Structure 1
Amino acid sequence: MRLGIVGAGAVASLHAQGAAVLEGLELTAVCDLREDAAAAVAGPWGAAVFTDYHAMLAAGVVDAVVINTPHSLHKDMVLAAAAHGVHVLVEKPMATTLTDCLLMEEACARANVVMVVGLIQHFMAEKLALQGALAAGKLGRVLMVHDYRSTDYRPGARPAWFFDKAVSGGGAFINIGAHCLDRSLWVGGAPAVQINATTLHRFGAPVETDGCMELTLANGVEVRITIVSDTPQHIDEMLIVCELGTVTVDPRKGTFMEIDGASTQLHATTDHDIQDAFTAQLADFSAAVGGAAPRVSGDHAKHVVELVLTAYESAERGAPVRLDAVCAVSGVRG
């Protein structure tokens, strides 16, 4: 499968490295508005360089693409790929509206191409270690999840498009919060039926820089997500409270389980965990193109977008919002 990458920033090099080591995949093109950025990712693998994704698709040099661009651009790029019969791995969030999510799905279905949403948490070794312990029944039922993550939303600390709501869809919630919602729903094991959110706008930023989300899942699990900008030390930790014990998960340290006063380390972080996750995600996408079910369903990806949008609604209203007729961990409202 000939793979292209649209958007040479952030994690593009991780996708490129993944393609290089997976049998049956070849990176053949990289596109970015900045030719030098595209060339930097394409160069080590001898891939073609484009500055217009329409030209790349029309050139017939790719069978599949990774879309790694600002959030609001995802819909048009997916529709263009589908029109050329090209399969798509689109980075999270799937889109900035549920309408766009549905248009993307419909276009891919009509074109008989596969679309998978890149929710990398499902491939991270420390999260897989947690899921292994839960599946083995060592901890009993999940009761509560606390997800605490820091970021940096000071203007100038990241590219300008992150602060343009028309392009990004919002601030810390739709960016970092999408990761937190994804993994908390996955661990909690059910869709959300209610969300109560608050946001902060600090540093003069036009989008939210910090916030909290409290969710009740359909199975009764309570989830609290806290996102804070510009903390003294970087934070990325989940605490899962279960019937028989607790687990902490941190990609910088690993996964630790405590049962009746006895501690066990389930995973120790390595330098290659992140690259391994992106390689595994790309392998999962390739398998999906071959007919396998992807590890992350499109319905789950849509539910993450739905929850981000509902969190914004809750924060604006200053009150909890119920989600009517939610889907199975995987779904959107009717």
Structure 2
Amino acid sequence: MSNAEVINIGIVGAGFIGEIHAAGYAHNPRARLAAVADIRPEKAGALAAQYGLKSYATLDEMLAAEKVDAVDVCLPSPFHREAVVQAAAAGKHILVEKPFAINLDDIDAMMAAVAAAGVRLMVAHVCRFMPEYMVVKSLVAAGKLGRPLFFGAWRESATPGWSWNNWLLDRNQSGGTIMDLQIHDIDISNWLLGTPASFSMHEIMAPGRPGPAHVVSNLVYDNGALAGLEAGHLMPASYPFTTGYRLVGEEGAVEFLSPREGEKQVLVYNGDGVTTLRGADLPPVLAGDPYAEELAHFVDCLLTGAPFRVSPAEARLAVATALKLRESANRGSGLVS
């Protein structure tokens, strides 16, 4: 594809994340939304009408009727495999939401289908496109903090109640809090530190609430670095979504605390000095929206042939890490109640 071309996108799944992706593509002149598919006609129709598109009940119908170059899969995790394999067989490039899947069999089937069809696939790990995480990655890559020793991250929210049929609260469909929420920080930790070699997870669940949990995970990496990750879906409804991280290196440290108000800032500590990065000091993202930035990256890589920031192998590693953490709890090194 030449740099003058536009990528035609078909979205399958018109729920919460499908709406976010549609809005993100609207900022990008190199992307053209072509159609929306969803088994719920009212959802597909409403999202399609917002952007002047046609809507379809199934991915099959959309692919038969519309000329699309890529399919954006915004379906619940259990349906990723079917949609990705179908899109690949039709010769379409694919963006699929995180997690890649909740088991490795589905992931391996998707990777095999993509390889056989000669198409490209990216998994939408959006944190890699957030300025605060782009900063810490660039500092580590440039050796500004010395050898990384420890990465700590946390991500807390009220119990999600917005998903279709509450599928996020069904651990058999979502993989639980570790796969839906902590997967973000697992991926970032692997992105910064490499391949984990040791796994330990503790999980607490509230009585009478079989879906959401509070999860604490510990990883030891091949290079000796440690990670401690906390994620919770048990906060009260009044509690605002909160996230942050701290990376400690041999020669410095960097910290991000999500603000309750005001702009984001990242603090970089070296020796006796501290540098505060905020606003214009942080890496720019399209329209100030990391989702728009992520989608623009996907489109640009399709047009130029450049590698994706998130490879399928890296997205697979995030899921494999979550599964090994969960297995460590099931073996008794963690606590499930």
Structure-1 separation of matches of 2:30 and 2:287: 22
Match among 272, 275, 283 for residue 296 of structure 2: 283
Structure-1 separation of matches of 2:294 and 2:80: 18
* Cα RMSD (Å): 2.3
Question: In the TM superposition, what whole-angstrom CA distance separates every residue of 1:286-306 from its partner, at most 9, and x where no partner exists?
Answer: 233342211111111001110
Describe how 1:226-265 pairs up with structure 2 within 5 A. Answer: 226-228=230-232, 229-230=234-235, 232-252=239-259, 253-265=264-276
Aligned equivalent of 2:201:
197
Mean Cα deviation higher: 218-227 or 16-25? 16-25
Describe how 1:284-323 pairs up with structure 2 within 5 A. Answer: 284-290=297-303, 291-319=305-333
Match among 205, 221, 228 for residue 224 of structure 1: 228
Structure-1 separation of matches of 2:287 and 2:222: 31
Aligned equivalent of 1:81:
87
- CA deviation after TM superposition for structure 1 residue 281, in Å: 1.6
Structure-2 separation of matches of 1:289 and 1:133: 27
- CA deviation after TM superposition for structure 1 residue 61, in Å: 3.1
- CA deviation after TM superposition for structure 1 residue 45, in Å: 2.2
Describe how 1:62-73 pairs up with structure 2 within 5 A. Answer: 62-73=68-79
Please tell me the residue identity of whatever aligns with 2:53: A
Please tell me the residue identity of whatever aligns with 2:222: A
- Cα pair 2:27 2:287 within 8 Å, conserved: no
Describe how 1:143-182 pairs up with structure 2 within 5 A. Answer: 143-153=149-159, 156=161, 158-159=163-164, 160-168=166-174, 170-182=175-187
Please tell me the residue identity of whatever aligns with 2:73: I
- Cα pair 1:200 1:208 within 8 Å, conserved: no
Aligned equivalent of 2:4:
none
Question: What is the TM-score when the length of structure 1 is the normalising length?
Answer: 0.87
Structure-1 separation of matches of 2:312 and 2:285: 27
Structure-1 separation of matches of 2:16 and 2:31: 21
Please tell me the residue identity of whatever aligns with 1:279: A
- CA deviation after TM superposition for structure 1 residue 285, in Å: 1.6
Give unpaired runs (5+ residues) of structure 2. Answer: 1-6
Mean Cα deviation higher: 19-28 or 95-104? 19-28
Q: Does 1:267 find its partner at 2:274?
A: no
- CA deviation after TM superposition for structure 1 residue 272, in Å: 7.4
Summarize the Cα distance change of 1:255–1:41 in structure 2 as closer, same or farther, 3 Å threshold: farther
Match among 203, 212, 217 for residue 213 of structure 1: 217
Aligned length: 317
Structure-1 separation of matches of 2:93 and 2:162: 33
Please tell me the residue identity of whatever aligns with 1:192: P
- Cα pair 1:126 1:267 within 8 Å, conserved: no
- CA deviation after TM superposition for structure 1 residue 195, in Å: 0.6
- Cα pair 2:35 2:66 within 8 Å, conserved: no
- CA deviation after TM superposition for structure 1 residue 115, in Å: 1.0
- Cα pair 2:286 2:293 within 8 Å, conserved: no
Summarize the Cα distance change of 1:36–1:261 in structure 2 as closer, same or farther, 3 Å threshold: farther
Aligned equivalent of 2:41:
35
For the residue of structure 1 that corresponds to 2:39, the secondary structure is: coil
- CA deviation after TM superposition for structure 1 residue 275, in Å: 5.2
Question: What is the TM-score when the length of structure 2 is the normalising length?
Answer: 0.87
Identity of aligned residues (%): 32
Question: In the TM superposition, what whole-angstrom CA distance separates every residue of 1:254-305 from its partner, at most 9, and x where no partner exists?
Answer: 2111223422112339997785322222222223334221111111100111
